[in-house]
């Protein structure tokens, strides 16, 4: 499968790395290819620059957002939530049309200090905003409720006995994303319903952030105990 | 221990029943004692009227909000979130002073239809509003992330292997509530931090509501898998 990842940060790299490992053909999209290649400093989270990661993941192509989207059958929004709508505009509506768009982004607002609040919540969500802005894309919100290491390797905590959720309007798209998640190692994929259920999973983030504070590690995930 | 429960609904009854079973002296507060006793119809959720429940729980006293608060060492806010601040005003600031106030309420807004949204979230929470309105009360937010049956009997799902959270500014109050929760059967009580962490647990509710829709049962609870 040809997969296009929008975003060169830790989430984009985790998903790109996993998809490559699974034999898929992966291109990562960025705003400015030359500038992304030229970065030599770690980011504010201490992640090494993209070029360092790219050396050990040289099967992954780097392209513009629009090129990455045009080349791919399946797209992943792995950008910061505050930038997502802009990035998807840059990717181009025609390049998203009819394609599955996995939305992992969280609408975190760091402008008011830590811990972050949400830019949109309660009666709307980023997932819904994206689906409204790109009505022909088949948006599936998933994987946004955990740290990037666990997204790609659920067995890193509790032997994989925890949950990931899918939200979206297109049952076939959710079924295909569910199958893909199973190839990542996910045992439990819960279909929450239509894209409005993205409000639920995005509003878990404030809890996630505080849980990370309490546990002093991001290596946990939510499980629905029954 | 003398415990006062504010609210005669399903949550108040579950907590009152459990505390009585554990040998505590329980009084339930309501706005109008005569009217609460006179109700003969089930509520909109299908719960029997208070008087029916009271027949099998006759050790529990029914009193006004102010009487229940004045008589008790420990208070539990088990009211609907939209009514909580009014009810606590009716209970009386002097009757709350210095006491532990367990806040289970969720600020659910049903006025815009189902599923409910939140009346306050993101940069504030009901728990914080209550602590600000009653600065001498020792507010501990807890138990709001699950259905009332599980609050009082955590072993009803997954053999009790799931989590409850405490949020509050007073470490001693949180420690005492944690001990109380253990007598309910809770094995895992996670201290999230100060009362601002109530934003996290209250914002889980939209997820909880959608999960109930997906599973078609309220008999589940969140666990932090590590």
Say yes or no for a CB contact (<8 Å) between A200 and B211.
Answer: yes
The sign of the dihedral angle between the CA atoms of A182, A188, A194, A195 is negative
Report ipTM for this prediction. 0.95
Residue B165: pLDDT over 90? yes
**CA atoms of B151 and B174, how far apart (whole Å):** 17
pLDDT digits (tens, 9 = 90+) for A144-153: 999 999 999 9
| A214 contact residues in B (CB cutoff 8 A) | 190-193
Q: What is the pLDDT of residue A141?
A: 99
Query: How many interface pairs between A and B have CB atoms less than 8 angstroms apart?
Result: 110
pLDDT band at A7 (very low <50, low <70, confident <90, very high): very high
Say yes or no for a CB contact (<8 Å) between A200 and B223.
Answer: no
Residue of B nearest to A157 (CA): B226
pLDDT digits (tens, 9 = 90+) for B194-205: 999 999 999 999
pLDDT digits (tens, 9 = 90+) for B21-77: 999 999 999 999 999 999 989 887 788 999 999 999 999 999 999 999 999 999 999
Q: What is the pLDDT of residue A112?
A: 87
Nearest-CB residue to B200 (from A121, A191, A210): A210
Percent of residues, chain B, with pLDDT higher than 90:
95
- pTM flag (> 0.90): yes
Residue A209 sits at the vertex; the CA angle it makes with A203 and A214, to the nearest 5 degrees, is 135
Say yes or no for a CB contact (<8 Å) between B203 and A207.
Answer: yes
pLDDT band at A159 (very low <50, low <70, confident <90, very high): very high
8-state DSSP, B144: T
Q: What is the pLDDT of residue B87?
A: 98
Say yes or no for a CB contact (<8 Å) between B157 and A203.
Answer: no
Mean pLDDT of A196-213: 98
Say yes or no for a CB contact (<8 Å) between B223 and A223.
Answer: yes
pLDDT band at A201 (very low <50, low <70, confident <90, very high): very high
Residue B126: pLDDT over 90? yes
**CA atoms of B7 and B19, how far apart (whole Å):** 15
Residue A46: pLDDT over 90? no
pLDDT band at A43 (very low <50, low <70, confident <90, very high): confident
Longest dimension (CA), chain A: 50
pLDDT digits (tens, 9 = 90+) for B96-114: 999 999 999 999 999 988 9
Tell me, yes or no, if A216 comes closer than 8 A to chain B by beta carbon.
Answer: no
Tell me, yes or no, if A144 comes closer than 8 A to chain B by beta carbon.
Answer: no
Tell me, yes or no, if A218 comes closer than 8 A to chain B by beta carbon.
Answer: no
Q: What are phi and psi of A139, to 5 degrees?
A: -75, 130
pLDDT band at A171 (very low <50, low <70, confident <90, very high): very high
The mean-pLDDT minimum among A99-113, A160-174, B33-47 falls in B33-47
Termini Cα distance of chain A: 35
Q: What is the pLDDT of residue B148?
A: 97
Tell me, yes or no, if B162 comes closer than 8 A to chain A by beta carbon.
Answer: yes
Say yes or no for a CB contact (<8 Å) between A121 and B203.
Answer: yes
**CA atoms of B128 and B119, how far apart (whole Å):** 13
Residue A129 sits at the vertex; the CA angle it makes with A126 and A131, to the nearest 5 degrees, is 110
Termini Cα distance of chain B: 35
pLDDT band at A61 (very low <50, low <70, confident <90, very high): very high
Residue of A nearest to B220 (CA): A226
**CA atoms of B97 and B70, how far apart (whole Å):** 10
Q: What is the pLDDT of residue B92?
A: 98
Helix, strand, or coil (residue B61):
strand
Say yes or no for a CB contact (<8 Å) between B225 and A201.
Answer: no
Say yes or no for a CB contact (<8 Å) between B197 and A210.
Answer: yes
Tell me, yes or no, if B194 comes closer than 8 A to chain A by beta carbon.
Answer: no
Q: What is the pLDDT of residue B189?
A: 98
| B211 contact residues in A (CB cutoff 8 A) | 190, 192, 200, 224
Mean pLDDT of B4-12: 97
Q: What is the pLDDT of residue B68?
A: 98
| B219 contact residues in A (CB cutoff 8 A) | 226
**Residues 6 or more apart in contact with residue B77 via CB below 8 angstroms:** B6, B7, B84, B87, B88, B101, B102, B103, B104, B105, B130
CA-wise closest residue to B200 among A209, A163, A221, A201: A209
Helix, strand, or coil (residue A34):
helix
Mean pLDDT of A80-98: 98
The mean-pLDDT minimum among A11-15, A178-182, A188-192, B37-41 falls in B37-41
Type and span of the H or E element at B199: helix B198-202
Are residues B77 and B87 in contact, defined by beta-carbon separation less than 8 angstroms? yes
pLDDT band at A189 (very low <50, low <70, confident <90, very high): very high
Q: What is the pLDDT of residue B122?
A: 97
């Amino acid at each position: 499968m040809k997969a296009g990842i929008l975003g060169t940060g830790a989430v984009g790299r985790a998903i790109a790395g996993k998809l490559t490992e699974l034999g898929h053909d992966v291109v990562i999209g960025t705003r400015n290819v030359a500038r992304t290649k030229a970065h030599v400093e770690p980011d504010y989270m201490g992640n090494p620059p993209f070029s360092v990661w790219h050396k050990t993941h040289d099967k992954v192509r780097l392209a513009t957002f629009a090129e990455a989207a045009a080349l791919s059958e399946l797209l992943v929004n792995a950008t910061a939530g505050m930038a997502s709508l802009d990035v998807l505009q840059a990717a181009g509506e025609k390049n998203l049309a009819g394609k599955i768009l996995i939305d992992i982004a969280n609408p975190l607002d760091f402008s008011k200090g830590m811990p972050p609040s949400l830019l949109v919540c309660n009666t709307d969500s980023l997932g819904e905003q994206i689906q409204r802005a790109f009505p022909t894309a088949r948006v599936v919100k998933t994987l946004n409720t955990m740290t990037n290491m666990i997204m790609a390797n659920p067995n890193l905590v509790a032997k994989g006995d925890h949950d990931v959720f899918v939200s979206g309007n297109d049952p076939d798209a959710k079924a295909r994303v569910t199958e893909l998640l199973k190839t990542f190692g996910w045992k439990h994929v819960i279909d929450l319903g239509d894209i409005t259920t993205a409000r639920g999973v995005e509003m878990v983030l404030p809890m996630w952030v505080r849980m990370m504070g309490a546990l002093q590690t991001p290596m946990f995930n939510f499980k629905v105990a029954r």
